[in-house]
Amino acid sequence: MKIITTVSSTIAVAAALSFTTSCAKSDNPEEVKTEVTPAAEVAAPTEQSVSKVELAIELPKPQFQGTPKPVKLAPGLKLHKAGKRPPFMVAEGTVNLSKEKMVTASDDMPIIGDLEQLVDGDKAGSDGSFVEFGPGTQWVQIDLEKNSEIAAIMVWHYHAQARAYHDVIVQISDDVDFLSGVTTLFNNDHDNSSGKGVGKDVAYIDTFEGWLVDGKGAKGRYVRLYSNGSTADEMNHYIEISVYGKQVQ
Amino acid sequence: MLVAIIGRTYQLDKRPMHLDEAVHAIKFIDLLENGNYRYDPHEYHGPTLYYLSLPVAWLRGQTSGAELTETTLRFVSILASILFFIPLFFMGKITKGHTPVAAALAIAISPIAFYYSRYYIHEILLTGFMFAFIVSAWRYTINHKWGWAFTAGLFLGLAFATKETITIAITAIAVAFVSTTLTEANLRKRLYKKTDWRHILLALVALLAVITLFYSSFFTNFLGILDFMKSHFNFLNRAGGQGHAKPWFYYLKMMVYFKDRPGFNATEIYFILPALATGIVAFSGKIKDEQTRAFVKFISIYSLTLIIIYSCIPYKMPWIALNWMQPITVLTGIGITLLLGKISDKILRFIIIIACLLSAWHLGYQIQIENGRFMCDSRNPYVYSHTGTDFLRLPKMINAVAAIDPLNKSMPITIISDEYWPLPWYLREYSSVGYWQSVPEQPIESPLIITSIDTATKLYETLGSKYVQGIYGLRRGVILVAFVRNDLWKKYLEQKTTN
């Protein structure tokens, strides 16, 4: 069963959505080999000395196309309403580090689109803006070029139709192959079907507002995102990924 | 052609059951297990689909719902689609030469015919019976032998016993018959002089016998015949749309050029253009052979009338296009054979053959995509409210959880949702499944609960932390939530890790 959450974890997740709590702790034994560091254990930056500003996220136009019936959401499934996302505070000087950076993927030849589209700033839900990867667990990876402190990661999978992507996992590492020093920031693979450990994070339905993953100041050069199809089909889609943070001096 | 027929049987069970297929399957299980069938004038269409499924199930040694498979059910449609090829070789003088082979090849590589040949619904049977009727009736107008009249009556009866929309096909036949006889003097005279009214009576007897046999559930429910007559009023009301209303150009767009999202475009223009040209040539009198000309005229007008009528009716479904696409495809086969027969220039013949091969290649590509990667994808023009591939994770999880539960397939399952089909098909082996439209007042004890996404909200208040939840796509825009009791889920995860 994918994207499972307990009711108790729902509360935790709801709290996480107000950006006050930590993200999931991975409990897959296999991950011992990959030296995963749960985000909660990452040393918090010295926030007191840094002035905070609201993260400005440019949103595309809403574009649910041909959805036969609007999807209502249970508390365990989150969907921000337009203008309802709580302000997300970041340190002054935080920028989009991923813009036009190099993207690699488990499949370098997507079925539709090019990898460059993931970081080109085009977040529209229309045809021509999304990249389609084949079925099964697929990942995309962004090279930020330098070690960076991550404040937030925004991801738009597909928002022309109501759907939820399975096994959304967001990781950061200094290792290009993600074999060591891996920090998991988000994981909603609740049945471990993607083999990265059982995740406790919430399932969500993609909208034009995208999904915000708290970076919690985790440090790394590479950002990797996994998915394993959606409630619509087996394919994996991405429209845009924006990694916000600062390069570490 | 053999490849196309074998291809129709490839991985028949891979595509999730469409809700209509599942509804028919559950109805058939009652017939298979208990011998029960009563015609319902409001739903499910005619009885042939169910009765013709019986021998297929028996031959495969399946006598219960638990044993029944998607392959068995869909094989009924495949058999009907293969039967469509047979009349092609009995088209009288037109049968001479390569015409039937060309027509059969065209049908074999028609994407719409291929897709719905693998679909457990009535349409492929209806079009097969109608074409067999047309060819039989056509043969009767040529040789006036009683056997063809009888066969025509028999197949028309089977068509009547398949789907109520037969009345639309009969209207199209009447229009085509009048148009053809008005423009073909010899045919008109021959019909007038040689038709034996005893033969027509025989055809009517055969027609009524088949209708009576099927609609009375083999003489066990004579009210079924009355219900069949009443049904036309119900389906007349349904023509208004009932949630399936679409613009008049829906079918034309679907057949000429279909594009939903990037990744795949579909077209059957390779049949429509040659068929149109063949019809125009026939009406311009350039086809010298009288039989071929009259037959082409008849099929052209029949197809055109069907397109017009169905385009005017707001209620539209993609599989309805089979009704005219099958005859149009036959026309294409006839037209190409006639064209190649006329052209003596070797280079021109070569160009036409190359064009045909390229068209066949593109049609084959479409068949591969539409029955493979896009078998449930809205980019496939023949996919309509189809169950998504994501749904298949749900019965898989249920089976795994039930295997852990001490009650196994007697494990109580509660389903609270307006939209849940085709779940009953996938849960056919479970003996304690309850379906609810809203959250029941009494406490739910089931270890497994499946709800619509909005009902899930209400359940949180009552279930507390005893359950975990997961989401599953049912079809485009419809998501189900499954609640599994914590202890079972924990064991399920443990077992999954061990395996």
pLDDT digits (tens, 9 = 90+) for B400-424: 999 999 999 999 999 999 999 999 9
* Between B155 and A3, the higher pLDDT residue: B155
Q: How far is CA A174 from CA A62, A148, A179, A183, A224, in A?
A: 35, 9, 9, 10, 11
User: Among B448, B467, B479, B495, which would you mutate to test the A interface (most chain A Cβ atoms within 10 Å of its Cβ)?
Assistant: B479
Report the predicted TM-score, pTM, of the whole model to 2 decimal places. Answer: 0.85
Domain boundaries defined on chain A: 94-247
Q: In A, what residues contact B, Cβ < 8 A?
A: 1-8, 10, 66-69, 71-77, 111-112, 127-128, 132, 160-164, 166, 190-192, 198, 203, 205, 229-234
**pLDDT on residue A6:** 37
Q: What is the DSSP annotation of A5-71?
A: EEHHHHHHHHHHHTT-S-------GGGGTTTEEEGGGSPPP-GGGS-EEEPP---------S-SSPP
Q: Do A132 and B472 touch (CB under 8 A)?
A: no
Q: Collect all residues with Cβ–Cβ distance below 8 Å to B96 and sequence separation of at least 6.
A: none
Q: How far is CA B347 from CA B97, B339, B341, B355, in A?
A: 22, 14, 14, 12
Angle (CA) A219 A100 A216, round 5°: 25
**pLDDT on residue A65:** 44
CA atoms of B434 and B58, how far apart (whole Å): 30
On average, the pLDDT of chain B sits at 92
Q: Which chain B positions have a beta carbon within 8 Å of A68's beta carbon? A: 385, 476-478
- Closest partner residue to B453 among A7, A71, A160, by Cβ? A71
- A221: tokens are 């050069």
Question: Are A77 and A204 within 8 A, CB to CB?
Answer: yes
Q: Do B477 and A71 touch (CB under 8 A)?
A: yes
Distance in Å, alpha carbon of A116 to nearest chain B alpha carbon: 17
Picking from B431, B20, B267, B378, the residue whose alpha carbon sits closest to that of residue A161 is B378
Q: How many Cβ atoms from other residues are within 10 Å of residue A247's Cβ?
A: 13
Q: What is the DSSP annotation of B4-70?
A: HHHHHTTTTTTSPPPHHHHHHHHHHHHHHHH------SSSS--SHHHHHHHHHHHHTT--STTT--H
CA atoms of B357 and B106, how far apart (whole Å): 11
- B65: tokens are 């719902």
Q: Rounded to 5 degrees, what are φ and ψ at B375? A: -65, -25
pLDDT digits (tens, 9 = 90+) for B30-85: 999 999 999 998 888 999 999 999 999 999 999 999 999 999 999 999 999 888 88
Chain centroid, CA B352 distance in Å = 32
B247, burial (CB in 10 Å: exposed 0-12, middle 13-18, buried 19+): exposed
Q: Do A231 and B471 touch (CB under 8 A)?
A: yes
ipTM score assigned to the predicted complex:
0.81
Element (H, E) at B74: helix B70-83
Q: Which chain B positions have a beta carbon within 8 Å of A196's beta carbon? A: none
CA-nearest residue to B468 within chain A is A6
Identify residue B356 by its one-letter amino acid code. C
On average, the pLDDT of chain A sits at 76
Q: Which chain A positions have a beta carbon within 8 Å of B385's beta carbon? A: 68
Angle (CA) B255 B478 B21, round 5°: 60
CATH topology of domain A94-247: Jelly Rolls (2.60.120)
Tens of pLDDT along chain B (499 residues)?
A: 677 778 899 999 999 999 999 999 999 999 999 999 999 988 889 999 999 999 999 999 999 999 999 999 999 999 998 888 888 888 877 777 788 889 999 999 999 999 999 999 999 999 999 999 999 999 999 889 999 999 999 999 999 999 988 999 999 999 999 999 999 998 899 888 888 999 999 999 999 999 999 999 999 999 999 999 888 777 777 777 677 889 999 999 999 999 887 778 899 999 999 999 999 999 999 998 898 999 999 999 999 999 999 999 999 999 999 999 999 999 999 999 999 988 989 999 999 999 999 999 999 999 999 999 899 988 899 999 999 999 999 999 999 999 999 999 999 999 999 999 999 999 999 999 999 988 888 888 899 999 988 888 778 777 767 888 888 999 988 889 999 999 999 999 988 877 7
**pLDDT on residue A240:** 96
- A88: tokens are 């997300």
Look at strands B433-436 and B413-416 and give their pairing: parallel
CA atoms of A221 and A178, how far apart (whole Å): 11
